[in-house]
Structure 1
Amino acid sequence: MPARNSDTRFGTVTRVFHWLTALLILTAIPLGVIANQLPYDTAEALAIKAQLFSLHKTLGVAAFLLGLGRILWALVERHPAPLHPERKAELTLAGAVHWLLYISLVAVPLSGWVHHAAVTGFAPILWPFGQTLPFVPQSEAVGTAAGAAHWVFTKLLGLAILLHIAGALKHHLIDKDATLLRMLRGVPAPARPEPVRKGSVPVLVAFLLYAVGAGIAALLVPNGEAVAAGAPVEAEASGNWRVVEGTLGISVRQMGADVGGSFANWTADIRFDEAVVDGKHGNVSVTIDTASLTLGSVTKQALEPEFFDVATHPTAVFAADMLPGTAGYVAEGTLTLRGVEQPISLPFTLEITGDQARMLGEVTLDRRDFGMGASYGDEASVGFGVVVAVDLLAERVE
């Protein structure tokens, strides 16, 4: 069996590329669909879901690399002439479907890979590489856009696969020609077909469909009215310091990987004096919109009743006195979260320059103290510790 194509048959290399690509895609797609539908209400369920997603991602990366090889091979290798060159419309449709498949082999896994690299979360790719990508920042915005593109592009891939299979079956069952057998077993055409000059219409149609898909994906990305992390956060007017810039971040351990995120909306009422009065420097009250949390690829899970339960408890409040500490300061107070009050000591440093102050603080909480993740009784799936980090810039209010 010849390795290269001829005018009448597909060679071994082309057929191996074709069927291996088909195997990867037709395995990765159901894995992704099943994993997406599985619950994650227990540690065991989450572990299964993560394993399936890891397989889905790994096969997707493999399909992407194989797809690049297949496209390069198709560009340098001759293509057997069609068996029915007189059917112009059919040839145009077949060409558009092939180009749609080629673009999908790159766009679908690449968009998923970018989403994986841009957000932190569970289900790592099972390769010694690929958890991050060059030029892809750790960004919720990038991850959301890539996720929307991946969702839309998979629909175009599904359309291309269905049309491709329908065309092959039509040739085999209705036309009863050798189109399917040429790719299946390398059977040559019964007669030397007439070569056909390829036009640009199929390519344009395929790229137009993807341009429309990209537009739909852009519309699916929520604009959101939440304040971005690092943007100025309005403070209550009663304090003598006003926050002009700040982040309120959290980090958890899930499936052995650190997952970081932040609350976009929060307000701070700060009263602070450099001098100690009655044993303290002042007090602070922070109100957090828990629904504004983004936490990598597990944001949806974090907002549900098992964890933050934002539908029932949309806000959390930290009220504390600011006291002198051994290496700076400490905010001693109470955190009310999910209707549960717990004493919290938040050590922090403060650098005051004129009328501006930079505050950095970090504390580790135990999710079990607030009734979070009761179904996750150990740390195999979700760690007990939740690191809360505060970084803000405030200015003195006259």
Structure 2
Amino acid sequence: MSRANTFTSYGNVAKTFHWLTALLIFSAFPLGYIANELAHEIQSPEFDGSQAVIARATLLFSLHKTVGVAVFFTALLRILWALSQPKPGLLHPDRKAEALAAEMVHWLLYGSLVAVPLSGWIHHAATTGFAPIWWPFGQNLPFVPKSDHAADFFGGLHWVLVWTLAASLGLHIAGALKHHVIDRDATLRRMLPGSSNQPQPPAQSHSLMPLLAALAVWAGALGGGAVIGVFGGHDHSHGNAQDHSTEGTVAPVVAVDPAAGGGWAVQSGTLGLSVTQMGSVISGSFSEWAAVINFEDPAAPGPAGDVEVTVSIPSLELGSVAGQAMGADYFDSANFPTALFKADIEKLAAGYQAAGTLTIKGQTVPATLPFSLDLQGDTAMMAGTLTLNRLDFGIGKSLPDETSLGFAVEVPVELVAKRAE
């Protein structure tokens, strides 16, 4: 059997690419489905923090992504080979509607085999993924920033294209079975290993109509996705149990003590949270918090005021793991919806600190926030990071080591405040 195609049959190289692609695709689909089911379990507030479930989801997502990258490169090589070869002719070109559908489906398949893994790969690169691709070339892509908007868009695009690929694949298989079982012709046998002595297809010509029809299908699929909102960060049910990170600057709701002469009103600020999970840093922020700040900068080291910060725990934006973080084994936001930081502000020989207590999940522990302060008239710009141990607050008690979830939690704080009149 020749390695090259002829007008009558496919060569060994084309057959190898075809069946290798089929093997990879039929591996990627169940891996993604099962991993996604585990993702929903992990994201649910009822999740008990089982390390076995998290580890299984990690394994399956890494397998899914690695197979997806293999599909991408296999598809590229397959297309390059196809461009260099004659295409075996249709056995029934006189059946115009059937011929149009067959060639349209081939265009859909070829395009989807590149677009589906590429969109998933870009989604992975735009997020801080806990489930890595198993290869030595890194997890990022050129020109793809770490961006929630990019991740949401390409995550939605991946979801739409996966369904387009699934539909095309179903039509392709149905067509092959129809030729083999009903028509009893050689269409399917031409792609089977070792097949030879195939019938000569009749003379035929090709037009751009199948390509235009495929483009119309893609446009319809993308338009439908836009209508149902999959490109705007909705749950696409395709993705990564813990692959999203959310970082934002939100102007908080701030209360100022009007009786205090040193009251300051926060104009803008970020109250963040970062934790290491499965070796990757996942970052987020709280969108609702309130601060009462009394501060007078002394000439020498010593007391400088006090601060009280109330944080709405359910306002934590942590990508797809936000729901999990609200569960009973973590923040238990249903029973403990707020956190409270109360501290005295002190000027040090170099810098400042707010030393007091932090209450989370009903546990009050000493906490000290060192920070820098840039005072320019009645405007103050502050930045600091509070480092906590999650076990001090009973968070993630079912994860007693750092295999899945690190002990250290970083709480970066940045704000701009103006002296209250």
TM-score by length of 2: 0.87
Aligned partner letter, 1:309: D
| Matched residue, 2:180 | 172
Q: How many Å separate the matches in 2 of 1:46 and 1:223?
A: 23
Q: 1:338 aligns with which of 342, 361, 367?
A: 361
Match in the other structure for 1:273: 296
1:233 aligns with 2:256: no
1:186 is displaced (CA, Å) by 5.5
Partners in 2 of 1:292 and 1:222 — Cα distance? 19
Equivalent position amino acid for 1:67 in 2: A
The residue aligned with 1:24 is: 24
| TM superposition shift of 1:222 | 4.5
Return structure 1 stretches of 4+ with deviation > 6 angstroms.
none
Question: How far apart, CA to CA, are the structure 1 residues paired with 2:392 and 2:154?
Answer: 36
Q: Which deviates the most, 52-61 or 198-207? A: 198-207
| 1:92/1:332 CA distance change after superposition, 3 Å | same
The letter of the residue matching 1:154 is V
Distance of 1:396 and 1:215 partners within structure 2:
50
State which drifts further: 296-305 or 171-180. 296-305
Tell whether 2:396 aligns with 1:377. no
Question: Counterparts of 1:289 and 1:203 in 2: how far apart (Å)?
Answer: 53
Structure 2 residue 132 is the aligned partner of structure 1 residue 124: yes
Give SS of 2:129's match. coil
Cα deviation 1:320-372 (Å, max 9, x = unaligned): 22122353111122222223322211111111122222211112111111211
Aligned equivalents of 1:266 and 1:189: distance in 2? 76
> How many residues end up aligned between the 2 structures?
396
Q: Secondary structure at the match of 2:94?
A: coil
* Partner in structure 2 of residue 49 of structure 1: 57
How big is the shift at 1:77?
2.5
CA separation of 1:44 and 1:266: change in aligned 2, threshold 3 A: same
1:6 aligns with 2:25: no
**Distance of aligned partners of 1:270 and 1:257 in 2 relative to their CA distance in 1, 3 Å threshold:** same
Instruction: Call closer, same or farther: CA 1:378–1:289 in 2, change over 3 Å.
Output: same
| Cα distance in structure 2, aligned partners of 1:98 and 1:223 | 31
| Aligned residues of 2:247 and 2:272 also touching (Cα < 8 A) | no
Distance 1:186 1:262, change over 3 A: farther
Q: Which moved more, 1:183-192 or 1:383-392?
A: 183-192
CA distance 1:112–1:305, change in 2 (3 Å) = farther
CA drift of 1:3 comes to 1.5
**Deviation string for 1:154-191 (max 9, x for gaps)?**
11111111111111111111111111111112535743
Coordinate RMSD, CA, aligned: 2.5
- Equivalent residue, structure 1, for 2:83: 75
Q: Structure 2: which 5+ residue stretches go unaligned?
A: 43-48, 235-245
> 1:277: Cα distance to partner?
11
The normalised TM-score by structure 1 is: 0.91
CA deviation after TM superposition for structure 1 residue 24, in Å: 0.9
Whichever residue aligns with residue 170 of structure 1, its letter is K
C-alpha contact 2:284 2:318 (8 A) present in aligned 1: yes
- The more displaced of 268-277 and 195-204 is 268-277
What is the identity, as a one-letter code, of the residue corresponding to 1:266? W
State the Cα distance separating 1:279 from its structure 2 match. Answer: 5.0
2: CA distance between counterparts of 1:310 and 1:189? 70
Partner of 2:412: 389
- Residues 1:198 and 1:270: Cα distance change in structure 2 (over 3 Å): farther
Q: 1:209 matched to which residue of 2?
A: 217
Aligned-residue offset at 1:8? 0.5
Amino acid at match of 1:220: V
After alignment, is 144-153 or 378-387 more displaced?
Answer: 144-153
Residue type of the alignment partner of 1:291: P
Give the Cα–Cα distance (whole angstroms) in 2 for the partners of residues 268 and 302 of structure 1: 23
**Partner-residue secondary structure (3-state), 2:308:** strand
Q: Distance in 1 between matches of 2:321 and 2:58?
A: 11
SS of 2:205 mapped into structure 1: coil
- Whether contact under 8 Å (2:154, 2:231) holds in the other structure is no
% identical equivalent positions: 50
Change beyond 3 A, Cα 1:76–1:150: same
Aligned amino acid, residue 65 of structure 1: F
Return 307-316 or 379-388, whichever deviates more.
307-316
Partner residue, 2:34? 34
What is the CA-CA distance between 1:381 and the residue it aligns to? Answer: 0.8
Would the aligned equivalents of 1:360 and 1:390 in 2 still touch at CA under 8 Å? yes
**In structure 2, do the counterparts of structure 1 residues 146 and 12 end up closer, same or farther at CA, with 3 Å as the change threshold?**
same
Larger deviation: 4-13 or 258-267?
A: 258-267
Post-superposition shift, 1:199?
A: 2.4
Q: Report the CA distance between 1:261 and its aligned residue.
A: 2.2
Amino acid at match of 1:376: L
Q: Which of 319, 325, 328 pairs up with 2:342?
A: 319
Point out where structure 1 has 5 or more consecutive residues left out of the alignment.
Answer: none
Q: Secondary structure at the match of 2:297?
A: strand
Name the SS of the counterpart of 1:394 in structure 2: strand
The farther-off stretch of 336-345 and 303-312 is 303-312
Go from structure 1 to structure 2 and tell me whether the alpha carbon gap of 1:8 and 1:140 turns closer, same or farther (over 3 Å shift): same
Deviation at 1:133, TM superposition (A): 1.2
CA gap of 1:69–1:303, structure 2 versus 1, over 3 A, is farther
In 2, Cα distance between equivalents of 1:269 and 1:101: 59
* Counterpart in the other structure of 1:193: 201
Structure 1's 389 and 13: CA in aligned 2 closer, same or farther, altered over 3 A?
same
2:353 aligned partner, one-letter code: V
The 3 A distance-change label for structure 1 pair 130 and 156 is farther
1:220 corresponds in structure 2 to: 230
Aligned amino acid, residue 152 of structure 2: T
SS at match of 1:144: helix
Please give the per-residue CA displacement for 1:186-214, whole angstroms capped at 9, x wherever unaligned: 53574321243222232223223323333
Distance 1:283 1:209 in 2: 62
SS of the residue corresponding to residue 212 of structure 1 reads helix
Does 2:163 match 1:155?
Answer: yes
Query: Once the 2 structures are TM-superposed, how far is the Cα of residue 5 of structure 1 from its aligned partner?
Result: 1.0
Q: Which amino acid aligns with 1:177?
A: D
Paired residues of 1:228 and 1:264 also in contact (CA < 8 A)? no
